A and B are shown apart, each in its own frame.
Chain A
Amino acid sequence: MSASEMPSAPSSQDAAPPRPTWQVVLVRPETMTFLLLIAGVFAGSQLSPFFLDVAYILRSFTLYSEFAIVALVLTMVIIAGEIDLSPAANMALSACIFAWMQQAGVPIPLAIGIGLLSGLAMGALNAIFVIGLQLPSIIVTIGTLTLYRGLAQVIAGDKSIRVPEWFIGIDKVMIGGIPLPVVAFILLAIVLGFVLSGTIFGRQIYQIGTNEVAARHAGIRTARIKTGLFLGIGLVAAIAGIVTASRLGSVRYDLGLGGELQMVLMAMLGGTYIFGGRGTILGTFLAAWLLVIVSTGMIVANVLPAVQLVVLGVLLIVSIVATNFIYSRTQR
């Protein structure tokens, strides 16, 4: 895909005519996600007469918007060749710290500040282990995922902590008929999409993911950029946690339990390559909608949750088979 992989001086023998535009567009993984999205909408409307309702779909998307927001940043982390499985636990711990602080009498703005700082600290701890100590991010973040959620349970016990009435209901704030968390997701997607595809920083992320050693030799500060990504996902996860607190009106240690699977699923469905170096924000953006459409369509049709598990599992495997297939074709 990147220019460096093309043979620099093709001989006359194997010079192929450039691919037609339609073919380039068609073999991109995002196209597959988009087609699946269309199919999902169609299937949903066939499954239940109550499905096709924009307001309902937006309301349902709000339930997944916090995960979707984090998944955008996670996409960048995966492109850089790492992975973070701890953000859902980070959401829970940040939200618990925030709720616990405000319950103890700390003013809300300060409590939010402390919640965000703790999210940043969790990102920093991941970064220390992964970048400082050179340990594999997958196993480190499995460890911190257990630790963060465990700490949330230590702080909050098994009970829920209420937040004040006026703080509740960020999902009921509408901007042009669209709930605020969904607007935030769309805006963040535009910003990160631009950063990743239109800036030097973005290109460096791809280079790190493609070949870290080469990137370092090319003068890219790989450690600094990766640390920044881990801090970034920590902070965004904390924001997502506090948004969830506002949506639910209460915080418990099991907030966002299992969210890491949904986030990884969004990135994978969007065509992000698990080994790094490839993927786009657009793909994750579409995949988030796909996931919501599929889940919502099945829930409103009262399909057994078991079938939903099967469909999600199959989707993940199909998406990665397709992504691998597409990348191996375009690489030739």
Chain B
Amino acid sequence: MLKKSLLIGLAAGFAMVTGALAADPIKIVYIGKNTGNPYFDSITGGFEDACEKLGCEFEFVAPATAEATSQIPFIEAQIQRGVNVIGIAPNSPDALNQVLDAAKAKGILVLTVNGDLVGNESHRDATILPVDFTKTGPNQIELTGSLIGYEGEIAILSATTEAPDQNTWIAAMNETLKNDPKYAKMTLVATVYGDDQPEKSTTEMEALLANYPNLKAVIAPTTVGIAAAAQVVQSRGIADKVAVTGLGLPSEMRDFIKDGTVKAFQLWSPYNEGWLAVHFALGLLDGSIKNEVGNTFEVENLGTIKIEEKNAMNTQAELTTFDINNIDDFNF
């Protein structure tokens, strides 16, 4: 560490001596929700590979815990370090407004990646989301329906009661169930919240089974929830009676798919979010992309990306479905 900082110090000194002749590489930093969260390993991989290919400096930092304010000192530090781009998965939709404004005032490009400042979009420049979140709900209902023959009682096991993404999806699920005659025989009997903790998600899942003996399927649109629900079903040996599905990480769900506890679940590619973020940021900085709604640009491996309403971009159109046939093709 000391050696590295000495080197950086030397390099900085050298740069000062030689003046601004040699252009510094663009510095990009991604601030995750917390360290030790396997989801971010994959996003970071996308950032790293894109930066290596396009020639920029990348660093990943994250606080030890994911409470609302824990990211603030990290953002302050990045402003102080003079980075060019801050990518962030915000832990709060509004507590970061002031410090992000300070970053923007310093000319730093602020992108939210894999989660947005819902209702406070003016405090960032653009957002990169894996899919169009209005499609997540219908996609999940369709998958669930296909698993239970479009008939029976279903329940939702979500993250926290105020998780903005999950609530968008749940609202869309309710809408789809109500309006699409295809799902007329499926009834949503309960929506419960496991707070993204394995213990809590497990007790909520057990309570669902006790309260609704005729339950046919549980949708858990959160990686912690789906693993906890699957484990309950596995230990009770009732996989043929209650289908578990939702959004999960292939690395965490592989065993459940292989032993038949879970037939299928969905997600997107977190890797591509990092990949897109770097391409978009560098394009903005060199002027080849204009950050205006309706503009399009090309990204290697992803095709044409369009800047949608509220400066939002998606890496893929529909969710990817994982099952026994393709689970081994994914290494995240």
Contact = CB atoms under 8 A, between A and B. Distances in A.
B81 A252 contact: no
Given A50-B81, A255-B68, A257-B67, A158 B161 contact: yes
Contacts of B316: none
A303 B1 contact: yes
A55 to B, nearest CB: 9
A301 interface: yes
Interface stretch (B89-97, B138-146, B255-263): B89-97
A49 B9 contact: yes
Contacts of B65: 257-258
Interface in B21-73: 35, 59, 61-65, 67-69, 72-73
Contacts of A255: 68-69
B98 A247 contact: yes
A201 B59 CA distance: 53
A306 interface: yes
A304 B81 CA distance: 16
Nearest to A247: B98
A169 B98 contact: yes
B95 A160 contact: yes
Interface in A305-329: 305-306, 308-309
Contacts, number: 97
Interface in A2-58: 46-51, 53, 56
Contacts of B162: 157-159
B81 A48 contact: yes
Given A255-B68, A302-B61, A249 B80 contact: no
Contacts of B2: 46-47
A150 B60 CA distance: 33
Given A159-B162, A248-B95, A302-B59, A47 B5 contact: yes
Contacts of A160: 68, 92-95
A50 to B, nearest CB: 5
B95 A252 contact: yes
B240 interface: no
B295 to A, nearest CB: 31
B62 A305 contact: yes
B95 A300 contact: no
A282 interface: no
A252 B98 contact: no
Interface string B129-162: 0000000000000000000000000000000111
B76 interface: yes
Given A160-B68, A250-B95, A301 B5 contact: yes
Contacts of A50: 77, 80-82
A157 B161 contact: yes
A63 B76 contact: yes
A295 interface: yes
A300 B81 contact: yes
B74 interface: yes
B73 A252 contact: no
Contacts of A225: none
B8 interface: yes
Nearest to A248: B95
Interface string A251-282: 01011111000000000000000000000000
B17 interface: no
B92 A46 contact: no
Nearest to A299: B77
B20 interface: no
Contacts of A158: 160-163
Contact of B76 (A60, A305, A309): A60
Contacts of A49: 8-9, 12
Given A60-B76, A255-B68, A299-B73, A305 B8 contact: no
Q: Which of B35, B61, B73 has the most CB of A within 10 A?
A: B73
Nearest to B195: A158
Interface string B254-297: 00000000000000000000000000000000000000000000
Interface of A: 46-51, 53, 56, 59-60, 63, 157-160, 162, 168-169, 247-250, 252, 254-258, 295-296, 299-306, 308-309
18 contacts: A47-B5, A59-B76, A157-B161, A160-B92, A168-B98, A248-B68, A248-B69, A249-B98, A250-B94, A255-B68, A257-B67, A299-B73, A300-B81, A301-B1, A301-B5, A302-B77, A302-B81, A306-B64
Given A47-B2, A255-B69, A295-B73, 7 more contacts: A47-B1, A49-B9, A158-B161, A247-B98, A248-B69, A249-B98, A302-B81
